[in-house]
Amino acid sequence: MSPNAPETAARRLTDIKSRMDRAAGRIAGGSPVELIAVSKTFDAEHILPVIEAGQRHFGENRVQEAQAKWPPLKSAHGDIVLHLIGPLQTNKAGDAVALFDVIESVDRDKLAKILASEMEKQNRKLPCFVQVNIGGEEQKAGVAISETVEFVDRCRDQYGLDIVGLMCIPPLDAAPGPYFAQLARLAREARVSQLSMGMSSDFEAAIVMGATQVRVGSALFGAR
């Protein structure tokens, strides 16, 4: 069977959602968790079986790559919700606002200001997440932990963005649990209700720590 056959995609999707449900069952009163299928580097041929299997939320890292494949898919499936989960250059902000439905990587004032301007210009007020550099890693994007709450406040009050949550990517070589717990504490301080955290290798731990959405790619689509 082809690795991107509809039957394979449906089976993988069912397995991941079952694992998500089991993880959510470990916490009392947990919120529903949304699965974001990370389709970066995969073309429409690989994505379509996952859509046909019922998945509707997808994540892409790069504006230009998403522009090349998503407009026809979104036109054919009007309920698709496309998340930008990678770093965003300010000169791509207008294109991002036009194509995406959620921006998850707001990480600096200049970008926040330009996004707000583009949303007003295009009459599209998109929900946004602030990306936090939860591990304090120089090579990663994101707002410093100590600056997160004030940055969220500025995004809302000064720029008028609809900040709904926080997003993070923990250090690769460390246990993710403490980082997820720290992001959850930050979210409470910043008065946001959504947490985008957890990927193929650790989404169950993220759910236990309060994730409201997890970003899963290789476990669903296979190795890149």
- pLDDT at 38 (0 to 100): 97
CA distance 116 to 119: 5
Give mean pLDDT, residues 85-102.
Answer: 97
CA distance 59 to 36: 6
pLDDT category, 5, cuts 50, 70, 90? low
Q: How far apart are the first and last CA of the chain?
A: 18
CA distance 4 to 1: 8
| Model pTM score | 0.95
Closest residue by Cα to residue 196 from 224, 219, 165, 152:
165
Q: Is the pLDDT of residue 131 over 90?
A: yes
- pLDDT at 222 (0 to 100): 83
pLDDT category, 7, cuts 50, 70, 90? confident
CA distance 122 to 120: 6
For β-strands 127-132 and 102-106, DSSP reports them as parallel
**Top-level class of domain 6-221:** alpha beta
**54 by DSSP, 3-state: which?**
coil
Alpha-carbon Rg of the chain, whole angstroms? 17
Give the model confidence (pLDDT) of 65-77 as tens digits: 999 999 999 999 9
Give mean pLDDT, residues 190-216.
Answer: 96
Give the model confidence (pLDDT) of 195-204 as tens digits: 999 999 999 9
What is the residue extent of each domain of the chain?
Answer: 6-221
Query: Any residues with CB less than 8 A from the CB of 221 and at least 6 apart, and which?
Result: 4, 37, 38, 39, 42, 46, 50
Give mean pLDDT, residues 40-52.
Answer: 93
pLDDT category, 158, cuts 50, 70, 90? very high
